[in-house]
Structure 1
Amino acid sequence: MKTATIPTDREIFFDRDHFIVSKTDLKGRITYVNRAFCKIAGFTEQELIGAPHSIIRHPDMPRAVFKFLWDRVLEGHEVFAYVKNMTKSGDFYWVFAHVTPSCDPAGNFLGFHSNRRAADRRVLSETIIPLYAALLKTESETPNAKQALAASYRQFTETVQSKARSYDELVFSL
């Protein structure tokens, strides 16, 4: 039986020239990882292939952000998002992720592809970390998980609308 990883307060940094790449099937199971992914996340390729991509999900990530990301990707859109991931040892690292659906020639989804690079520190400190903290606070203060997600998602979309015409406009203006 696998034990849960306990998050640390230790941040891992990686070179802005390195790209983390992964692919998943339709159920989110990892089908491909590059060497950078393994090195930064601290897992072997064998540990990652077949595992759910959530193996690197950090508990500091608001559920509302993942809801938005998956809603958009499942509509066939590409999404750019700031994500806090967790390593095998519980350390964390921030990425700027580009997530796209992988499709066959007829447009049917086959899986998902994600390229990630080091996140801009200024954007993190000025915008993303405070926003995610506010969303997590909303999620933790709402007693029912379904209502917590709805409240946090509403807060997320209201924040985006208050700052830009669309999420894409906001994320690329940061």
Structure 2
Amino acid sequence: MQHPEPNNNEIKLSSKRYIVSKTDPKGIIVYGNDYFVEISGYSEAELLGKAHSIVRHPDMPKIAFKLMWDRIKQAKNFIAVVKNLAKDGSYYWVVTDFEPKVDPITNEIISHTAFRKAAPRKAIDTMIPIYAKLLEIEQDEGMEASEKYLREFLEENNTTYDDFVNNLVGNKGLFKLFFTAMKKLFS
């Protein structure tokens, strides 16, 4: 399936609704809630069995997904501010919290569930120039250079990736309660 041509139409997400999708260990969609179907513009049949990258926006640097996969392959949570692409080329910004599910016997990852909420404007405005710079570096020098830039950025700001994102999206209080509640609902 070909990716749509991105346009400048932003889909404003409801702060009262959430997007949930579940993939197998390789990132193939096995479940999407109604809001995911609605916002993405794809039918449920078009989403199921497809790689989750079907909603990947070209403005997102590859390093963001490398960090995500490095983390979730170790069965660790990962929170990120992500720009996603809808079927019609529109885009929407989310805060995504990935929750890997591990088989209690084999200890292998059996699925990943992603819980998404509308990203705060402040987080979007902060990430746009960072992602643009990472993308530019990736195109000129490759992903390793992009990762090096990100590492140096975090060191200069005396923070870790997790702390940077948690502070950016306000992942505390009600926001944190939301993700905790969602995980209980879908586990």
What stretches of structure 1 of length at least 5 have no aligned partner?
143-147
Q: What is the TM-score when the length of structure 2 is the normalising length?
A: 0.85
Offset of residue 83 of structure 1: 0.5
Aligned 1:53-68 pairs, distance under 5 A:
53-68=52-67
- Residues 46-89 of structure 1 show CA distances to partners (whole Å, capped at 9, x for unaligned) of 11110110000000000011111111111221010000000001
State how 1:113-152 maps to structure 2 within 5 Å.
113-125=113-125, 127-142=126-141, 148-152=142-146
1:81 equivalent in structure 2? 80
Q: Does the CA contact (< 8 Å) of 2:3 and 2:54 recur in 1?
A: no
Determine if contact 1:28/1:52 at 8 Å carries over to the other structure. Answer: yes
> Equivalent residue for 1:31?
30
Q: Percent identity?
A: 40
- Gapped regions of structure 2 (runs ≥ 5): 169-187
Q: Are 1:153 and 2:147 matched, yes or no? A: yes
1: distance between equivalents of 2:73 and 2:161?
A: 16
RMSD between aligned alpha carbons? 1.2
Cα offsets for 1:75-117 (capped at 9, x unmatched): 2210100000000011100000001211121332102110000
Q: TM-score by structure 1 length? A: 0.92
Give the stretch that moved more between structures: 66-75 or 55-64.
66-75
The size of the alignment, in residue pairs, is 167
* Mapping for residues 105-116 of structure 1, pairs under 5 Å: 105-106=104-105, 107-116=107-116
Q: Does the CA-based 8 Å contact 1:101-1:112 persist in structure 2?
A: yes
Once the two structures are TM-superposed, the CA of residue 161 in structure 1 deviates from its matched residue by: 2.2
Evaluate the alpha carbon distance shift between residue 67 and residue 18 of structure 1 in structure 2; reply closer, same or farther with a 3 A threshold: same
1:169, distance to aligned residue in structure 2 (A): 1.2
